[in-house]
Amino acid sequence: MDNSINIEQIMADIKKEIREKGLTPDMLSFEDIPYKKTAQGGSPAEALDYVTAHYYVQPNKEFKGNRVKTFFKRAVRRIMRFYVEPIVMEQNDFNANTATIIKAISEDKSKDMCSRVDTLEIVNKELMKRLDRLERENQELRSIIAKGQS
């Protein structure tokens, strides 16, 4: 049984399959492939969703590794619990309130933007009516002037 891997043969098979299917490089790019982004580098809405979902900080992480190290880590955690847990709880309260406020501001801004868009659409419609009326008036005046000169 031969356990060697022939990369050249695998690549040749992949290229043959691509040719047979008629695929071209412009058909799909990495930007077209959906994937879960972190808050960094995403849109503001994605960042807000991330903050809303991940505001809670866990005060006790699971210990892994050497049994002796984990024993000492547990001992230190128990000794420091009176100091660390209140700070973590305050941080969680702050994070929750901040996420709530940011979400409320975002919703208010979107409502405000919707009302502004509605107002601008009404103003635009009125301006288009005035422009149409002025163009008709201008056309009538040009025809009167043209009749007067002939």
Six-digit token string for 34: 């959906």
**pLDDT tens digits for 112-135?**
787 888 888 999 999 999 999 999
Per-residue pLDDT band at 136 (split at 50, 70, 90)? very high
CA–CA dist 119, 75 (Å, integer): 64
User: Does residue 2 sit within a domain?
Assistant: no
**pLDDT tens digits for 48-78?**
888 888 888 888 888 888 899 899 989 999 9
Angle CA 62–68–71, to nearest 5: 50
Nearest to 57 by CA among 76, 84, 78: 84
In terms of residue numbers, what domain contains 124? 7-149
Average pLDDT, integer, range 23-35: 64
User: Does residue 1 sit within a domain?
Assistant: no
Task: Flag whether pLDDT at 41 surpasses 70.
Answer: no
CA–CA dist 138, 12 (Å, integer): 72
Number of domains in the chain: 1
